[in-house]
Amino acid sequence: MARQLAAKAIRRLLLVSIYVLGAVAFAGAGAGRRSAVRPSEITQQVPAVFVFGDSTMDVGNNNYLSGENVPRANKPYYGVDYPTSRPTGRFSNGYNVADFIAKALGFNESPPAYLSLAPARSNSLVVAAVSRGVSYASAGAGILDSTYAGENIPLSKQVRYFESTMAHVEARHGSRATSKFLSRSLFLFGIGSNDLFAYAEGQSGINHVATLYASLISNYSAAITDLYKGGARKFAIINVGPLGCVPVVRLLSGTGGCDDDLNQLAIGLDDAIKPMLTGLTSRLHGLVYSLGNFYDQAMDNFAHPKAFGFTNTDSACCGSGIMGAEDDCLPNSTLCTDHEGFLFWDRVHPSQRSAQLTAATFYDGMSHFTTPFNFKQLVAKKMTD
């Protein structure tokens, strides 16, 4: 019962990424070298980043979706610590994990949201795609189309949007240059939590956990395979974190502790993702990946908060009531005074500081949190034509 109540509360919250650079990148793809790169571009380790996922990755796609149940981070106090101090669609006080991964790769932030560029602005879409990449991530999205259907952009549709983007790029730059460009780009994933929340809530239409995992892995594998067929080769995958330890679940547990059932549900999916990726590399020539273990990284933060600069790891910085978890982060919410000290910004999502630590860990941090190598080593892999 506690698990169902927690999932329902979470659902209420959830129902709440220079054309010159592009030309340079494609010139490099076609000629095997880069030309006339500006100083600010020298540190870019990949030509572009393409982002797929949920609210931990979304940078504003949901702001363009209609429907009162669509989860959006378009009001204060989201974005209060972003450079503009305004909401951007990120479920954070500032940047999210996708932003910090992009920063580590030499970009200013995550690539722009697809729906901010398309479909009418095809030229802007192509410019963004070839110079920085595009984010297709959508808050509330799942690996399954049925997860909170109609309230987000599910993974399969995110992949279709990518394919549409590449059709525009290929029409402009040709298939050979596009293929080489994509083989050097990074494909970043962070998705799966919402599917597990929906299952725990009894909203997935699936009655057995084994069936759930099989469906998730089938759809996840299909998405990666489709992207591979489109030219993608380098995949950075972030697995599902300890869902039972977010503030709203702790609140409804009755003890303030983590919900072991939800955590075990996450562990089960994470354990299934590992062999899925191994299998894909054996079948799809040239595919390489790095798997970031968000579950273990988050649990390490919980176990050693002071070592990571956290003063609070169980409550929301922006919210109301007990543990700041009795309501969403709203303009009339109570804010903690130490934004950097809280692991959670709202009652489900990590703070900017937490996202920064996660990204740093997966990019070039301790090796036991990534397999078979870290994100930095992944992007350094030389791809053959």
User: What count of residues does the chain have?
Assistant: 385
Q: Which long-range contacts (CB under 8 A, 24 or more apart) does 205-209 make?
A: 205/146, 209/265, 209/268
Instruction: Judge if pTM exceeds 0.95.
Output: no
Q: Could you check whether the bond before residue 77 is cis, i.e. omega within 30 degrees of 0? A: yes
Round to the nearest angstrom and report the end-to-end CA distance of the chain.
Answer: 54
Q: Say how far apart CA 47 and CA 379 lie, in whole Å.
A: 10
- Token digits for 238? 């972030």
pLDDT for 120 equals: 60
pLDDT for 382 equals: 87
Which residues fall within 8 angstroms of residue 372, CB to CB, at 6 or more apart? 290
Q: Say how far apart CA 33 and CA 35 lie, in whole Å.
A: 7
SS3 label, residue 51: strand
Q: Which one, of 2, 10, 8, 3, lies nearest residue 346 by Cα?
A: 10
pLDDT for 133 equals: 98
- Does the domain made of 44-380 have the CATH classification 1.20.1740? no
Which residues fall within 8 angstroms of residue 308, CB to CB, at 6 or more apart? 300, 301, 357
- Is 5 buried (19+), middle (13-18) or exposed (0-12) by CB count in 10 A? middle
Q: Say how far apart CA 116 and CA 63 lie, in whole Å.
A: 9
pLDDT for 355 equals: 98
Neighbours of 4 (CB within 10 A): 12
Q: Say how far apart CA 356 and CA 176 lie, in whole Å.
A: 36
Q: Profile the chain (385 residues) by mean pLDDT over runs of 10 residues.
A: 46 38 44 33 85 98 97 98 98 98 98 87 88 98 97 98 96 96 98 98 93 98 98 98 98 94 98 98 98 98 98 98 97 97 98 98 95 98 73
pLDDT for 13 equals: 44
Angle at 102 between CA 101 and CA 108, to 5 degrees: 135
Q: Say how far apart CA 136 and CA 155 lie, in whole Å.
A: 9
pLDDT for 385 equals: 45
Cβ 13 vs Cβ 97: under 8 Å: no
Render the burial of 76-112: b for 16+ CB within 10 Å, e for the rest: bbbbbbbeeeebbbbbbbbbbbbbbbbbbbebebbbb
> Which active-site residues does the annotation give?
55, 346, 349
DSSP of 137-187: --TT--SSTTTTTTSS--HHHHHHHHHHHHHHHHHHH-HHHHHHHHHHSEE
Angle at 380 between CA 272 and CA 34, to 5 degrees: 135
SS3 label, residue 234: strand
Report which residue type is found at 147.
T
